[in-house]
Structure 1
Amino acid sequence: VLMHTTTRHYHRAPLPPAGTWPWALVKRVASGAARGMTYLHSGNPPVLHRDLKSANLLLDESYTTKLCDFGLSRLKALERSMTGNCGTVQWMAPEVLANHRYAEPADVYSFGIILWEMLTAECPYEGMNPIQCALAVLNKNARPQIPEWCPPAFSALIKSCVDKNPSLRPTFPQILGALDSLP
């Protein structure tokens, strides 16, 4: 089966302009990724991806989504959270950037950035180097700007996924429910 990363589909020609992907396709790709993450997080112990980004989502010709690149993935530590920077800065949760303890909500944050990419067809924090990006996220609570034309329910989902407080982020089953409820 021929697979392409979502980066190819979102950031390279021949792509439709931002906001022109049919919502059914956005929902299909996002739901596929969320189902994969639900599976990882439902293990005993849960598996944290730790490098979830659009380049690590594969799409086949029918836009079935598969997660890939598990090189940084780890079983969740017995103390119920992990520490240590890993992953790609533009998709890293604030708690990971700050080298604080983190758990499943760190993957949810990364997923929120992917949702924004699907919406805008842009790279997150374009024009910033990794250090500038990390400082903006940590010190200024910077997040990619959601366009005004974004449907309110999708905007709310993105905002909840990238909330600064990990305990306020939805779980992947909750994300699936939110995606299912989108028109």
Structure 2
Amino acid sequence: MKQPSSKSKPWRPFTANCCSTEDQTIFKNFSRCKPSRSDLSKNIAPLPSFRRLSFSDLSRSSSTRINEDLAQSFGSDLFDFQLIELRAITQNFSSNFLLGEGGFGTVHKGYIDDNLRLGLKAQPVAVKLLDIEGLQGHREWLAEVIFLGQLRHPNLVKLIGYCCEDEERLLVYEFMPRGSLENHLFRRLTSLPWGTRLKIATGAAKGLSFLHGAEKPVIYRDFKTSNVLLDSDFTAKLSDFGLAKMGPEGSNTHVSTRVMGTYGYAAPEYISTGHLTTKSDVYSFGVVLLELLTGRRATDKTRPKTEQNLVDWSKPYLSSSRRLRYIMDPRLAGQYSVKGAKEMAHLALQCISLNPKDRPRMPTIVETLEGLQQYKDMAVTSGHWPVSSKSTKNRVSNNNNVNVKARAGVNHKQPSPVPSRKT
């Protein structure tokens, strides 16, 4: 994996509580956001500081005032686009250019040529048009500009620029040609090979490790498959920093905040207490590992009640390689490393521990995943193992059918329920 260019400016966070998406003050004490002596000793040129602005100031400010503040802070690092320019490169946000749609708005593909802006190379881009009806949309737009305006890493999506005109709020990112991990796992006809899944998991882990390893850690807070985007070579890059939060400082062990994120991925202690730490991200990462292993969504209301929550359903099968095979993604058709899957399952089990202190740190996770690439063994069958049925007779019959089809080299596509768990 390529390391960040020595010419790129490293991540230097603003003060704690900056750009909280739910605090009353989204810019807090920006005038005191200055680099430390250790930064200066590394010959890092300080970024200009934002003026001290409250969210109420920004709500009443004109778009011109906001653009002046952003331009003062980021200079040439980010491009301040005009709405007319973004309309032109997306053919007026044509539905033919629609890449996706989520809770924060629509994303359209656009094409930038050499003549649009001096210093901006010709390239395809992704333009996010935020729905800012209500306060939250503007806050999340601002949070993304602030975080990604400073963050530079091979496993984070690059923010190219922004647009703030009247009531419109847009973001312009590098285009990720292979879309999201969610699409590949759950919506594509072709399945991701085992080696590609491992590469994606490793890249995403490196992105989170970079965030957590900052001098003032950043908690991503919304890690999930739809926020992991893929480059042409399946390099994973984290996107959507609208819910990102500065980590605890000094003697504080956590950040207290309103619970936000996505059901099924959020850590249980965060849901119950509102206490946010980097270990909250680790839990979410563990859930995504389970999705990569099983090919199932974190939550799926279409499944039987006992199988709707992926964490609860899969936990009994993660500590044994013999039992693990029953829940492996059938779309892998047995083509995966048995040893690698066992260790990934063990890692996922650690990540989703109910005790945050028992969860590994992201650098340890990166090291573990990189070590799995050495395994070249593959499962011995092209079939899948159904585990449970309504009767013992049916279970024996199903297993015999699988063995026959496996020997014949035929993929078994029958649904694979698991034994009911004891309550």
Same fold (TM over 0.5): yes
Instruction: Give the TM bin, normalised by the shorter chain.
Output: 0.7 to 0.9
CA offset digits 1:29-60 (Å, max 9, x no partner)? 00000000011001121000001101000002
Alignment of 1:67-106 (within 5 A): 67-78=238-249, 79-83=252-256, 84-106=258-280
In structure 1, which of residues 167, 170, 178 is the aligned counterpart of residue 357 of structure 2?
167
In structure 1, which of residues 148, 160, 166 is the aligned counterpart of residue 324 of structure 2?
148
Q: Aligned pair 1:10/2:10, yes or no?
A: no
Question: Which is further off, 83-92 or 144-153?
Answer: 144-153
Aligned to 2:232: 61
- Over the aligned positions, Cα root-mean-square deviation in angstroms equals 2.1
**Which secondary structure state, in structure 1, belongs to the residue aligned with residue 232 of structure 2?**
coil
Contact 2:293 2:345 in 1 (8 A): no
Displacement after TM superposition at 1:22 (Å)? 3.1
Aligned length: 169
CA pair 172-144 structure 1, distance change in 2 beyond 3 A: farther
CA offset digits 1:150-171 (Å, max 9, x no partner)? 5321110110010000000011
**Higher strand proportion:** 2
Displacement after TM superposition at 1:127 (Å)? 1.1
Q: For the residues of structure 2 that align with 1:93 and 1:39, how far apart are their CA atoms?
A: 20
Aligned to 2:367: 177
Displacement after TM superposition at 1:144 (Å)? 4.2
CA pair 23-13 structure 1, distance change in 2 beyond 3 A: closer
Stretches (4+) displaced over 3 A: none
Question: Which is further off, 76-85 or 169-178?
Answer: 76-85
Contact 1:89 1:97 in 2 (8 A): no
**Higher helix proportion:** 1
Q: For the residues of structure 2 that align with 1:103 and 1:38, how far apart are their CA atoms?
A: 13
Where structure 2 has 5 or more consecutive residues not aligned to the other structure, the ranges are 1-174, 318-322, 329-340, 376-423
CA offset digits 1:97-151 (Å, max 9, x no partner)? 10242311100000011111111221112118xxx9xxx98xxxx5341562153
Where structure 1 has 5 or more consecutive residues not aligned to the other structure, the ranges are none
Q: Give 1 or 2 for the bigger CA radius of gyration.
A: 2
CA offset digits 1:3-25 (Å, max 9, x no partner)? 40111111102132xxxx43321
Question: Which is further off, 59-68 or 1-10?
Answer: 1-10
CA pair 144-35 structure 1, distance change in 2 beyond 3 A: farther
Q: TM-score, normalised by structure 1?
A: 0.84
Identity, % of aligned pairs? 31
Contact 1:76 1:103 in 2 (8 A): yes
Q: TM-score, normalised by structure 2?
A: 0.38
Structure number with the bigger relative contact order (C-alpha 8 A, sep ≥ 6) is 1
